[in-house]
Structure formats: structure tokens, C-alpha cells
Structure 1
């Protein structure tokens, strides 16, 4: 698929999704890719059952957050819906408590897309949702819309899923385990958001992104800044700077040694002289140690990390700006933060919003 085709589709998709004001007095949390299953060995969320239920019920619900579930929540692509409901009664009840307060926004992804045609589903469903920040826009959608199949056949998607894919047990194609397709998906969304002058919040690829940067990108930037400071630093400060430089170096080397070169180190640079903060991704809830989420509170957008038990990894301790705990057992770390005003200012001053032309080879 040429980028120009996706760009045309994206603008139409954006214009058709409902809008609501981002209330500056309210707090928002964005989660995606829970992949709730049947509670068995193939259910990737089981390992984080207590962590997910307690963080939602005792942190976000009690603090009156608006919960935005950004796709692939119930994995009805792999499991019958009745088995998911049976295995996750408590978590679904927590979703229901958010809904009773008017604080639930539920967006579908490719693994729960068929919920759009599910009879008597209890909550309103969206394919995408635009949050208006003054005259600016934050567009939350799952991200599978960047696939070739979806763009070409989106008018048939509901029919195919309801009457063809599910009865024949054909799985929707996923990008989370395919590094090339994951990177291609992220780059398409990045370019489309940049061309549209908006901020996009996606999921789907299972890779947390903050201001269009992966963890590797962020570490690289930190390391380059530290090296620049080190050159002219007074001798009494160089020992601490060396410690930080070695810490980030080790973390980058660890990321570069990912099994089978899955390219988690690949960045989104290449679309111009600047990497602009138009793409955020909440990651997934199926990773080994915990889950990521995006929060918006008091005009600040943050990437946070939840884990069961205190995390003693040097990188987390070095980077976390603040932490919180639920029952002394579940820990929340704020990894990165920025003011939305600053995010949009950088977009507006540094982005030229190109016309959506194709790059060579597309």
C-alpha cells in the first residue's frame, strides 16, 4: 500500500470519528492490548490479573479517572466471548464501575472488532475517538487501521469477521511479533498524524512510545546529552555523569541484544530533520514484568509503568520521576512526562505538515 492511499483513508477515518472536549479538570488513562482470554495457559493477561484489577480499582477508579480502553481488550479473536466473560468477571465489573460514572470510553481493535456486531454488549463502542484540546486534536484509535487489508477492505471488515474469520477459526493478522510490520505500522501512523497536525494515541504494536520515541530512542537522546555535558563538566561532577552514562550504555546494549534481532531498537527518524511528538503508544498489558499506560492529568501527558513488587532495575529507578503504590504491593512509576501545550507547540513550530506524498519505494 502506498502511503498516499493510507493518508487519504486516515483523513476520512479521522473526520468520521466522534469528538469530545478534553476536560482540563479531569484525569485520563489510556490502556490497550489487554488480550483478556479464558483464564487458561493461552491467556496472556493472567499473570497480571491482580496488578490490573488493583491498579484500576484502587488507583484510577478511586481518583475518578476517565478510562480509555484503546482496543484488543477482550481477545474474542482467540477465545469465545462467553469464556472471557466467565474468566474475567471481576475486571469486567471494574469496567462497569467506570461506565456507571460516565468514565468509560471503549475503542475496538482487530482482536475485539466483532464486538461491534455483538448483540446486547453493555457499553458503547468506538472505532476511534477525538479529544479536543482547545483547537487541537488528540486522536485515540487502536492502530490496526494502518494495515493494508483494513484500508483496502474496511467496508467489508465487520461482515468478514462475523461470518468468515470467526466461524473458520482464522486469526486476524497481528504485527506485535513481526518487527518489520510493526515498524511500518508505526511509521504510517506517525506520518499521517504529522500530516494532519494532530497527536495520535495508538496501541496494536505492543511497543510503548512517548513523543514518537521508543525506549531505545529515549536512551540514545539521554546518552548524547550526557556526553555533551560531560565534556565541559567540572571534575567533581564527572564521576556522577560517568555513572549515568554507563547505566544508559548498559541498558542500550541490553536492548540491542534482543533475541533474533527483533529490531526493538529501530526508531521513527527519517521523515525530516526533526522527530516530532505526534505519536504516543500505551504499549500492552502482556509483557513479562508489568504493563504501561498513558495518563493525561492537569495538562500533562505521562508514560507510566505498573509492576507487582518494587522494581529495582537501575534504569527504572534512574528515570522514574515519581512513584506510587497500591496496598504496598503494586507500584506505579512515571517514566516520562511533558505538557500537552509544549507537545503541540513543537508540532506547530517545527512541523511543516507535508502533503502526504509517497516516499521512494512505497
Structure 2
């Protein structure tokens, strides 16, 4: 959702500015490989295009065939404010904020609101035993955890294994700990605003992998997205050679460069869907 910024612009303005992107959308749609979900900023698409809509479009996509369903939706639906006053917000942005030069504001820029919405979605998903894949807050989440939380868990796990490891294995673990610690420091220094350090789950509870967030496609350092294929879910980072990306300077088996050498695809994290389903069954 929120592919088109319709709070500020009309659909025709967006289309005319990004014709090359829509050409790519058309290629996927022709092969029945494209379904668009709408968010609070592009919800008008369903009404404005109506029968002239060239793409399959809905507010929620439900994937079945697994032990528990997967719901793909933008995420603003958990807020009654967005649902009830979205049109008023759109008019305010387009005819008041934009003419006055007021900067755009969204929940993605407010740590507390972002945390509140993510926690509501997490609690709902856990209670209903579903997997939610969202966007909205622009914060990549994998297995309901932020990158910092995941790195801390990995470091703790390695430290627990270190004491019983053989001398040869200890060298491998030391290298992994050094790399994860460097990643954690880099992740923290990149943040422009302080983020909440606590998780979205209760302090003494086991985090359940029932919520995933794709992040955003408008970041300065490239695109983050989620890929579901061959029984696995992956958090990916796509970027070009202009991005000052630390992983370009390190040997990693998770980094692939597309033909031409300009576009790079980095796998940040992955999990099997059987692991996700088993966690829902045994922990919820």
C-alpha cells in the first residue's frame, strides 16, 4: 500500500511522472502476477479507477494452504483515526499543508505511534493465530523483531555456545560475534531519531513470529521488501552501486549482484514457513 501518494497528488499526476514504473507493473499484470494492496495514502485508487482499474486491487490479501493463514495488508486499518478521517486528512494535506510548505508527516516518523500500531497488530495476529505482513510504519520487522533485537538475540546465543565450543569452533564464533556487533553498531549509528528499545511483545513473553514488516521502497539506501518463495520468507535489501553500503566491502554469501554490476540484492534474514507455522501452533 501507499505506492501512490494521493494525499498530495492526483493519480494522473503520479502516473505521468512514473510511466516507466507503470510499464513494469503492466508486464507483471499481463502475466497475472500483480495484486496491489492499498494503504491510507492511496485508498482512493479503488474508488477513483473503479471499473477502469488495470490491476487487481484490494485492501487485504489472504494466503491459504498453510497451517495458519497469512494476511497481507498495509497496517493503517488498526487505527480508527485513519479509517474514519482519511479523506479529511487527504484534503488537509493537499489544500492546506502543501500550499503552506508544511513538511509531510506520517506515523513512520513517530517512534511511539509506530510502536503502538505495531504492538496492536502483533497482539491481534497472536490472538487470532495468523501471520500479518504489513508496511505503513516503514520499519522492517522480521519474526516480529527489529534488526537490533535480532542481532542481540544472535549475539547472546553465540555467547552461550562459546563456553562449550572446541578451540576451532571458538574462532568461528568469535568472528561471528565481531561481525554481528559491528552490524549492531552500524544499525544504531545510522538512525536519525532515537527509537524505542523495547520490543512489541510483553517483556517476559517469548516473541512469536506472527508479524513481518516489509519496510519501505523510498529509503535513501535502497529498497527493503519481503519475499515469499519455495517455502521460505526473506527480508531483502535492494540497492545500487551509489549506495554506501557496508556489505559491499565485506565478503558475504548473502549478497548477489545482478548482471551489469550496478544493482545488488542482499538477503538480510530468512526463515522457513514451517518454522513460522510451528511457532504459531506451539507458542500461541
TM range (shorter): 0.7 to 0.9
The structural deviation recorded for 1:93 is 1.0
CA shift digits 1:95-127 (9 cap, x unpaired): 111111111111111111121221333223211
Segment drifting more, 333-342 vs 97-106: 333-342
State the structure with bigger RCO (CA 8 A, min sep 6), 1 or 2: 1
Alpha-carbon contact 1:258-1:264 (below 8 Å) kept: no
The answer on whether the counterparts of 1:216 and 1:264 sit within 8 Å (CA) in structure 2 is no
- Alpha-carbon distance in 2 for matches of 1:204, 1:276: 20
The runs of 5 or more residues in structure 2 that have no matched partner are: 99-103
TM-score (normalised: structure 1): 0.69
Alpha-carbon spacing, 1:320–1:118, altered in 2? closer, same or farther (3 Å) = farther
Count the aligned residue pairs.
Answer: 276
Q: Distance in 1 between matches of 2:269 and 2:255?
A: 10
Q: Which residue of 2 aligns with 1:247?
A: 179
Deviations 1:271-323 (A, max 9, x none): 65210000011110111211111111111111111111287625995776353
Query: Pairwise mapping of residues 131-210 of structure 1 onto structure 2 (< 5 A)?
Result: 131-150=63-82, 153=84, 157=86, 160=88, 164-165=91-92, 168-169=95-96, 174-210=106-142
Normalised by the length of structure 2, the TM-score is 0.86
Show structure 1 runs of 5+ residues with no match.
Answer: 1-70, 352-362
The 8 Å contact of residues 247 and 315 in structure 1, kept in 2 or not, is answered as: no
> Does the residue aligned with 2:215 lie in a helix, a strand or coil?
coil
CA contact (8 A) 1:320 1:333 kept: no
Measure the CA separation in 1 of the matches of 2:253 and 2:196.
21
The answer as to 2:259 corresponding to 1:332 is no
Query: Runs of at least 4 residues of structure 1 off by over 6 A?
Result: none
Q: How much has 1:344 moved relative to structure 2? A: 0.8
Change (3 A) 1:320 1:267: farther
Supply the distance in 2 between the matched residues of 1:274 and 1:165 (Cα, whole angstroms): 42
Structure 2 residue aligned with 1:348: 281
Distance 1:87 1:107 in 2: 21
